[in-house]
Each structure stands twice: as C-alpha cells, then as structure tokens.
C-alpha cells in the first residue's frame, strides 16, 4: 500500500512550526515562496533576478505595486533559521555582472533568503496607518531533490518495478545496458554484502547520469540525490538500486532485504525531513520548466517531463489559505508555471511555447485548481541573453535570435568558442501542442547562450537586468500581498 508522506508526529511538528512562525510574524507578515524546477530550469538565475529587481526597483512595467507608485523599496534581512545556508545572492550577481559575465553555479544544496519589502497599501484603512512591510522568504534547493518526493508514497517493490520498467523501455538500451547487465549477474536472494550493493548502486547512478544528458533529457528517474549527493556521498543511504520484486518473502539477511532497508532509510532520513521541514511550509510556488531542452530531445523526453511535473506537483500541499488556517497548516494557494529561456525563441513563438507548457502541466494544474489553488502559465526569461533580428534565406525572411552561444555548444558541425555572436533561426514550434508528444523529433535548434556582456545602469547606478515577462511573473506571485 502507498505510504503517507508524513507521520502523525510529523504533522504535529509541522503545526508547531507554523505556530512559531505565526508568533514571530505577528507584526510583520511573512510570505514563503518556493522556487522549484528540474535541473537546468534556471532556479538560481530566477532568484537572483527577483532579488535584484526588488532591491533596485528594476524595469518592471507589469509589476503593479511599482507602476502604481506604491512600492517603496526593499532590503535584505537575516533569515530567522540560522541552520540553513544563505542564498549566495551577491556572488551570483557578481557572476552575472562580471567581465566577462558568466552564469552562476547551479543549486547544490538548500538555501534561503529573506527580503523585507516596504510598500504603501491601497486599502483605505491600512493606507491610513502609513507604509506596510512584508517579509518575503525565498527557498531554493536542487532540482534533483524534487524527484525524490514521490518516493514517499512508494514501497521499495513499487519503486523497483517502475524503475526497471523504464530501464527496459525502447530507446533506453544504451544508457541502461551496463546496469541491467550488472543486475543480471547478481542474485537478489543471496547473502547481503557491501560489494554487491556498491556495484549495483554505481551502475544505477551511471545510468541515471547518462539519462539526464541533453540527447535524452529524461526527468523522472529518482533518487535525485544519487546525482547530487553532497555530504551523503558514499554513505549506505545512497548505496541501493532497484531489484526485481520477489513473489515470496525474503530472508532478512539477503541482498534484497539490505537494499530495501537502505531505500526506506533514504526516505526516512533524507527525503522525509526535507519534505517536513521545508516543503510543506510554503505559501506560493513557482515551478520553472525547461521545456526547450525536452523539445530538443524528442517526444519521449517531453512525455517524461509531463510525468515528472505531475508526480512532483502531487506532493505539494495545495488549497485555499487564510490567516486562521495558516496558524497550523500552510497551503500553497497560488502556483506559477514558467517556461524558462523564452529568449531562445523569437517572440512570435512565445504563445506556442506557452501552449505547450499548458499542455505539459494540464493534469497538475487541474488538480491544483480542484484543491482550491490558483494557477497560471507563462513563458519568461528572468535574464535575457539574446536580442531579435531577421535573416533572409533562399528568398524567405526568417525571424532570428542574436546572441553568443556558450563555449562548447555545437550546431551543424560547428563548435562555438563562447565569444562569437551568431544569428540563429531556432525553428518553428508547432501550432498543435499535442504534436510534441508524438511522431518524430522536431527540427529545432536550441543552444545555450552566454549572459549579456553589457548591461545598462539606472539613474542610481544599479545594473538593469533585461528580461521577458519577468514582471508579470513577479506580480502574479506576490503582487496581491502588496495591495
């Protein structure tokens, strides 16, 4: 039977933590924003851009509190939980504004940041008392960790069955063969020993790693921390692999029993604390989706991404929220689905990208709305790395994007050096979103680009980060709290 993500003790701890939050936020309300997404979706860039734009009053015409003149300003504050690493905003901004500008390092551990917002309320009574403040707490964590949340409701046998079924799918032969060969050479019912466990875990980890490469771009292959182990590397908690389910009971001294025990320990000591201490204490959620990477890899990767998003969103605690209910149980009452890297497409294709995103998250969005949470989908670029232009080819004018491909990017046999600017026609997205799930791989050319190397400054001397619809995303996520 599927297991509950939390125990009674967990629920009691969550309620007490929420009461403690409420007590400390009596005079200044706090909004917890979770920024999630699978690998390479742009979480670090999104958070850095969000903080920088709020601190500097960036060019955000779609952010109502700013355009209405009610947003007074923001400042960074110390996060109340001293045990959680701080999001390295200053270092990430330095990378984006350096000479040369580089993308910041991807998220490798959980981190948090508090930014205090001051604004003038447009409500009559609140406006009479002067400026109001809001604590915006931002939670960032590796995208790989998201993949582990569905494990909380799966037994070892259920997880093994699904993992082995995916490994045997057509198209997975190259990545999965070394692991399946190692599995075939070991009897799960033999006496347990660490050498066999380590052999299987290493082969399974390599299979996961190869499946994430750009040519495959598969998303639904947990455990995620096998690829982002941190200080758990080499520990028994990360030394297990799926095994063929056994019809009859197994000896407690068998290899099967050892790996099953380690799988359950992984859930109890790694996944569940993360879910309990961080994930269930969110008020708002942005889910960043690198749809272009999946489209580049083909229909199998697109279908896999849809499954991953549905599985992950099913773990969110969604529903309507009010001040009384938030005293003991926080609910995510608004979810933004954002297709990132919209600057890799000409603006004439952005509506099609949003249509594909809507199709990808249709199941998850429908469940969220049924639970009482609002949802919205949008194509964005938190930091725009390209500009637009046109080229004429064989008498036809094609819309292009102009930018500098990252060093090592390859297209049509050309390997780019990270310094040469090009004009690229990335291809047309289909009008019918269903077509990306079927048939052949689309004729698309998506490359990774370096960040903008020259940035404007505003009147105060602050850098202005160019973006695409980032203001609308920000308004949806926090605008209603600043009224």
Nearest-CA neighbor of 233 among 109, 411, 358? Answer: 109
pLDDT of 22: 52
> Average pLDDT in the 428-433 region?
90
Q: How far is CA 332 from CA 316, 329, 340, 372, 373, in A?
A: 7, 10, 21, 9, 7
pLDDT of 219: 65
Q: How confident is the model at residue 89 (pLDDT cuts 50, 70, 90)?
A: very high
Which H, E and C letters describe the chain, residue by residue? CCCCCCCHHHHHHHHHHHHHHHHHCCCCCEEEEEEEECCCCCHHHHHHHHHHHHHHCCCCCCCHHHHCCCEEEEEEECCCCCCCCECCHHHHHHHHHCCCCCCCCCCCCCEEEEEEEEECCCCHHHHHCCCEEEEEEEEECCHHHHCCHHHHHCCHHHHHHHHHHHHCCCCCHHHHHHHHHHHHCCCCCCECCHHHHHHHHHHHHHHHHHHCCCCCCCCCCCCHHHCCCHHHCCCHHHCCCCCCCCCCCCCCCEHHHHHHHHHHHHHHHHHHHHHHHCHHHCCEEEEEECHHHHHHHCHHHHHHHHHHHHHHHCCCCECCCCCCHHHCCCCECEEEEEECCHHHCCHHHHHHHHHHHHHHCHHHHHHHHHHCCEEEEEECECCCCCEEEEEEECCEEEEEEEECECCCCEECCEECCCCCCEEECCCCCCCCHHHHHCCCCCCCCCCCECCCCCCCECCCCCECCCCECHHHHHHHHHHHHHC
Summarize pLDDT for 209-219 with one digit per residue, the tens: 888 775 555 56
pLDDT of 293: 86
Summarize pLDDT for 233-267 with one digit per residue, the tens: 778 888 999 999 888 889 999 999 999 999 999 99
pLDDT of 232: 77
pLDDT of 1: 37
Q: How confident is the model at residue 183 (pLDDT cuts 50, 70, 90)?
A: very high
pLDDT of 305: 87
Question: Do residues 288 and 338 lie in contact, with contact meaning Cβ atoms separated by under 8 Å?
Answer: yes
Of all residues in the chain, the percent with pLDDT exceeding 90 is 55
pLDDT of 405: 95
> Average pLDDT in the 58-74 region?
96
Summarize pLDDT for 332-370 with one digit per residue, the tens: 999 999 999 999 999 999 999 999 999 999 988 888 888
Which domains, from first to last, does the chain contain?
Answer: 8-141+278-384+467-482 (3.40.50.300), 151-273 (no CATH), 387-437 (no CATH)
pLDDT of 227: 81
> Average pLDDT in the 407-416 region?
91
Residue 23 has pLDDT above 60, yes or no: no
pLDDT of 59: 94
Summarize pLDDT for 387-398 with one digit per residue, the tens: 999 888 888 888
Of all residues in the chain, the percent with pLDDT exceeding 70 is 90
- Mean pLDDT of all residues in the chain? 87
pLDDT of 427: 87
């Amino acid at each position: 039977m599927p297991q509950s993500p939390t125990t009674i003790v967990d629920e009691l701890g969550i309620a007490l933590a929420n009461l403690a939050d409420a007590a400390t936020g009596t005079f200044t309300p706090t909004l917890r924003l979770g920024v999630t997404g699978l690998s390479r979706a742009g979480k670090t860039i999104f958070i850095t851009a969000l903080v920088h734009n709020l601190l500097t009053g960036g060019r955000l015409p779609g952010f109502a509190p700013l355009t209405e003149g009610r947003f007074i300003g923001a400042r960074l504050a110390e996060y109340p939980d001293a045990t959680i690493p701080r999001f390295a905003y200053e270092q990430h901004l330095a990378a984006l504004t350096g000479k040369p500008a580089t993308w910041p390092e991807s998220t490798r551990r959980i981190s948090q940041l508090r930014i205090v917002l001051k604004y003038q309320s447009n409500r009559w009574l609140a406006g009479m008392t002067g400026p109001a403040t809001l604590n915006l707490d931002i939670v960032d964590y590796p995208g790989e960790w998201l993949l582990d949340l569905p494990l909380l409701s799966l037994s070892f046998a259920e997880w093994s069955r699904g993992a082995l079924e995916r490994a045997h799918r057509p198209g997975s032969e190259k990545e999965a063969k070394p692991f399946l060969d190692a599995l075939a050479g070991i009897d799960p019912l033999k006496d347990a020993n660490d050498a066999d466990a380590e052999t299987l875990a290493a082969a399974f980890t390599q299979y996961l790693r190869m499946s994430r490469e750009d040519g495959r771009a598969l998303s639904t292959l947990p455990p995620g921390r096998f690829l982002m182990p941190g200080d758990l590397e080499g520990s028994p908690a990360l030394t297990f692999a799926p095994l063929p389910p056994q019809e009859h009971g197994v000896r407690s001294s068998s290899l099967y029993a050892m790996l099953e025990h380690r799988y359950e320990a992984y859930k109890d000591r790694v996944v569940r604390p993360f879910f309990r201490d961080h994930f269930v204490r969110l008020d708002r959620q942005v889910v960043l989706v690198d749809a272009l990477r999946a489209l580049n890899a083909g229909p199998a990767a697109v279908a896999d991404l849809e499954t991953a998003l549905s599985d992950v969103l099913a773990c969110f605690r969604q529903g309507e929220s009010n001040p009384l209910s938030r005293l003991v149980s926080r609910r995510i009452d608004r979810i933004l689905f954002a297709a990132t890297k919209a600057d890799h497409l000409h603006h004439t294709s952005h509506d099609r990208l949003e249509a594909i995103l809507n199709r990808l998250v249709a199941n998850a969005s429908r469940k969220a709305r049924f639970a009482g949470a609002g949802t919205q989908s949008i194509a964005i670029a938190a930091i725009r790395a390209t500009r637009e232009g046109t080229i004429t080819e064989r008498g036809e004018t094609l819309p292009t994007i102009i930018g500098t491909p990252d060093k090592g990017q390859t297209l049509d046999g050309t390997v780019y050096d990270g310094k040469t600017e090009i004009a690229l026609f990335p291809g047309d997205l289909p009008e019918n979103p269903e077509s990306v799930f079927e048939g052949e791989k689309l004729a698309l050319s998506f490359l990774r680009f370096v960040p903008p190397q020259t940035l404007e400054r505003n009147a105060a001397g602050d850098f202005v980060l160019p973006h695409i619809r980032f203001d609308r995303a920000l308004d949806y996520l926090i605008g209603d709290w600043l009224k």
